[in-house]
Amino acid sequence: MLHVINHPLITHKLTIMRNKNTGTKEFRELLYEISMLMSYEITRDLPLEDVVIETPIAPMKAQMISGKKLAVVPILRAGLSMADGFLKIEPAAKVGHIGLYRDHETHQPVLYYCKLPEDISERLAIVTDPMLATGGSASDAINILKKAGCRNIKLMCLVGAPEGVEYVSKNHPDVDIFIAAMDKCLNENKYIVPGLGDAGDRIFGTI
């Protein structure tokens, strides 16, 4: 299921990111901040359990997040800043890394690295990647997680193209997709239009 997270703070920050005059430092910081805000929505259905505590005034029955195990799985490179934002909200989450790059000619994802927490099959995995273009990278990353036994997966992106959302939804109807904006289309190089350019290059200053 697709969730487009609509919030003025996110929209404002994303507009600054899209601007081609925004530099690397600001771009990276904004992606981190938006990821924190999106994490708030993505974790909305985490189960709570009753606990008994004592305030300075009186004992009370309160609630805390129950022992749900989480993992955040950035798709390298661009997913890293989003994972950092998620970890700020959920610091106890374990981290897996999936290295994928898009071949410049075929636009197909190529796997070059994978390291996942040993108990990933018991965890809710949040896959992070700012750009959901053709959907090939996200879909492959989810396949890898499923092969590792993971059954509870959410995808957190910043900007989506209709093609990518459709591709991931078709391949993985069980995975909830969260984006901050749905853009128009892909161009001939499979870049999102209007998008924000090459996310990895803009985050790491490798343009």
Contact between 129 and ligand PRP per CB under 6 A = yes
Strand 97-102 vs strand 109-115: parallel, antiparallel, or unpaired?
antiparallel
Q: Which is nearer to ligand PRP, 51 or 111 (CB)?
A: 111
Cα gap 74→82, rounded to integer Å:
7
131, 136, 171, 185: which one binds ligand URA (CB under 6 A) = 131
Q: Active-site residue 102, yes or no?
A: yes
Query: Footprint of ligand PRP on residues 145-204 (CB under 6 A)?
Result: 164, 190, 198-200
Q: Active-site residue 183, yes or no?
A: no
Longest CA–CA separation in the chain, Å: 66
Handedness of CA 82, 43, 137, 112 (dihedral sign): positive
Catalytic member of 103, 106, 151, 206: 106
Cis amide linkage into residue 162, ω under 30° from 0: no
Catalytic member of 102, 128, 134, 183: 102
Contact between 133 and ligand PRP per CB under 6 A = yes
Contact between 137 and ligand PRP per CB under 6 A = yes
Which of ligand PRP, ligand URA, none sits in contact with 18, Cβ below 5 to 8 A by type? Answer: none
Q: Active-site residue 201, yes or no?
A: yes
Cα gap 146→106, rounded to integer Å:
25
Contact between 158 and ligand URA per CB under 6 A = no
Which residue carries 């771009």 as its tokens?
27
Query: Which residues face 181 on adjacent strands?
Result: 159
Cα gap 151→149, rounded to integer Å:
6
Contact between 101 and ligand PRP per CB under 6 A = yes
Element (H, E) at 179: strand 176-179
Q: Active-site residue 106, yes or no?
A: yes
Residues that bind ligand PRP (CB under 6 A): 75-78, 100-102, 107, 109, 129, 131-138, 164, 190, 198-200
Active site members: 102, 106, 198, 201
